[in-house]
Structure 1
């Protein structure tokens, strides 16, 4: 496929962002075609040809992703999640959710089948990775302080990371350390694209002065202070890898800086599903000597 002209591509990027911003509103063909400034008939054909899925199916998948995150990581009632996903009631929502994930919403909330969900969501993930790229923010160099943290180590397939996140949320709630009170961090020991899934390592952290004994495997740790390059990534997790590659491949070789012996880490400043995916904010820290 030939690369579309930038102005043509921007019209569809505008549609994708409009969908993220208005998931709880009407997103019919006429509305989306108007955002793109195409006729509805041609817009449907153009969207499907360029992105690989019909616009209605794309909207459904994005809404269902937000629903899965709210079911897995938040306490919203199923009826509220159904209505916010554009369904008139829980029955229609349950049918669509089961067709997509193989589980009912209640079963998913109890024990998510992440592999089935990720397989069904892959078309949207590919669209976001390929078509929702933004310019990188300027890189800053700062002196970061030592950060005492509570740490839950995730070891194993990245596809099961959601289970570790759920355990960490359970610990945070019991400890009274909501994200608004305690900053959230991830420490990236491995690149999921370059590591065997069984060997993948990532630490889920929250700022905490002390960590009481617990049965969830959460321990006390520290993110050591020092000089860091910081890149703010605003957008979906699909663009996260490109931001990290920019730090390593573009910024670092031209900076004259050397790396410190500590893994790359990030602070989740504002995260989905509490904000729309394209408004999620993540500060990426590259430790420097």
Structure 2
């Protein structure tokens, strides 16, 4: 399939959904702003809401909430109507020390000095233009992502695939052990032929989930009759319609390609994310080529964009691989 031309109408729909979330955040800045409820508000699958948000604003939800709370505290300091300790607690910090550290990191000076400065600017410079404003709620934003015309991308339909996988829990840059276990077992048992494809699935949003709790599956395709081996789990990689782009180069920069896919191409594509996780297909390996020659296909599950109905948020049937241990063949 060929990607559709950039559609301003669907881009407006995406903008409207994100504006609704921004209004909710600003109006409820003291509440627990969890991603699942925000995803429902925007009528996006919770699998993909955070990537859409970050892609369109250049800033994640958690970072934006923290910044707006700091800006609100800076306004409070300028007005001199509350103590630094009270403003720190209102900004969601457990103690004055952590608040002062975050505040100085954002403004360059401690909060005690900020309140006495000449005409301080409470607004932290960001490209999206979203700021705390005592006089009202921001309803618009600037997107740092340019419209996705000319974005190297293809639309594909692929069947579901049976996979053997090893789950890694922790920092994503430490998933090598899971790959060593997967490839070690398959290699010893003679299942690493030329028709095996390798995929990675990350289930959690680093903006919401502590880095030590992030889940990632190192996956290899296996035949339908594959019964497995001890130490591996079996599951199914979902099929369907996908937008696919190729990331060239280091895995450490793969997030930039995901952000461009979600922020530049998706809003004007005529599609929205479907209710399955994204995944990556590794076309070569650091063991066989230089880092700059690595090629990774990024798969975004898609469906035609539906007009937002706040009373009917998108369904969210989460994909869960089988978690039963695999037995020997």
TM-score (norm 2): 0.44
Greater per-residue helix proportion: 1
Which has the larger Rg?
2
TM-score (norm 1): 0.49
